[in-house]
Structure 1
Amino acid sequence: MARGFIRNPLDVRLLILYILDRLILPVTMAELTDLALCDEGMDYFQFADALGALTENGHVNQGEDGLLSITDKGRSNCAICAKELPYSVRTKCDRSTQALNRDLKRRDQIRAAVTPTPNRERYTVEMVLDDDAGNVMTLQMAAPDRLQAELLAQRFQGRAEQVYHAVLSTLLDEESR
């Protein structure tokens, strides 16, 4: 027998709404699944059925990009019913969503896009670093092929702060004046 607190379809739906209500940005199906299966009382199929019903009745929106977010209708219903979830489940969800929110914020503030030049002889990589106040740095670089362009984009996303500090140090270095 399942040991978790989430046992019936309404509880599963409420859990999904509770999680989505606490996220700062839309998420992938995989991210939502990881968060929702925090309770041992439900399985993936219960989760998938509940998510399908929530999407169908307008509580959850799935964008063209496949990302999932809560609608105003879902947010309203969640506000009314959130206290129905057991405290331990809410606490576990809050911790998990806080961790994902940090990752989502970083993903939103550090972006890189690869586009072919009009003549398709090379690629342009646009790398953007934002903070809470707005844009901090936008850097465009040319790459001779798609592989190198993708590598530049990937490495920037993993080391954006280091790139920013290196550029800043180079430009503000007193010895080079």
Structure 2
Amino acid sequence: MSVIGFVGLPGSGKSEAAAVAEDWDIPVVTMGDVIRAECRDRGLDPATEHGRVAQALREENGPAAIAERSLPLIESELEASDTVVVDGIRSDVEVDRFEEAFGDQFRLVCIEAPFEVRKERLDLRGRDAGDEEGGESLEDRDQRELDFGMGAAMERADLTVENTASLEAFRERITEILTEGSR
């Protein structure tokens, strides 16, 4: 059994790493999906309320709330798969919770890329609309994530991947990590 968590600032490559896992038929539990579901349950638009609901969940249920809601999903996937990827870890408290649940079978991978590279990627995806269109700027998103404790989580990573080369090189490196994790 292996649980591999991805952590990194917006636009660093977490979603692409998760896509590599899916290409290898490795189940992915996306913590953001937990937040999007909660947005819908509250009658809110996940596209505009994601950050606010993430913060509210943590305030209402403690800093490990999203990890707690993700655990049953991870455990369910582990019933049929030796390896599961967790996409979107945001804090050291969440890392603590996953380490508590999975022990040495949990590995944390930090994905990093410079601000300008991340901004360009998000602009291409239409994910950094900026305040003028009602969205959050990348600077604000980074700060929100860091306020959750992401910096501390990133520092605890077992492995760091610099995502500054080609997409092909990044996908190859993630494949190596995933195949090592499934052994």
Q: TM-score, normalised by structure 1?
A: 0.28
Structure of greater relative contact order (alpha carbons < 8 Å, 6+ residues apart)? 2
TM normalised by structure 2 equals 0.27
